[in-house]
Amino acid sequence: MKSDNKILQPLDPLLHSELRLAVMSILVGVVEADFVYLKSQTGATSGNLSVQLDKLSNAGYVEIEKSFKGKKPCTTCRITDNGREAFASYVQVLKQYIQL
């Protein structure tokens, strides 16, 4: 075991959730994604995805816009600059863990 007294940075607990990390991983690569797309890509239930998107939105990582397409409700999600920075930081810290 290597011991060079590195102090590991903590992983962002908000992004350390499997579903929230999956959502952020999707959003970082697109301009925006609607709720139906995120649900199909993550395999999450509507209720769980909704709760996790609210957490990401409350943290300022994701912007959520609700509108209608005809008579159907449409929820569109975009990663914010803060979310992009938090995701990049999470990835960097995870790389430090892997390199131990």
The CATH number fitting domain 18-98, selected from 3.30.1330.30, 1.10.3720.10, 1.10.10.10, 1.20.1340.10: 1.10.10.10
Q: Which contacts (CB < 8 Å, 24+ apart) does range 16-24 have?
A: 16/90, 17/52, 19/44, 19/48, 19/49, 19/52, 20/52, 20/55, 20/56, 21/90, 23/49, 23/52, 23/53, 23/56, 23/62, 23/77, 24/56, 24/61, 24/62, 24/79, 24/83, 24/86, 24/87
pLDDT digit string (tens) for 22-41? 999 999 999 999 999 999 99
pLDDT digit string (tens) for 69-96? 899 989 999 999 999 999 999 999 999 9
Q: Which of the four pLDDT bands, split at 50, 70 and 90, describes residue 9? A: confident
Spell out the domain ranges in the chain. 18-98
Q: What is the model's pTM?
A: 0.87
Q: Which of the four pLDDT bands, split at 50, 70 and 90, describes residue 6? A: low
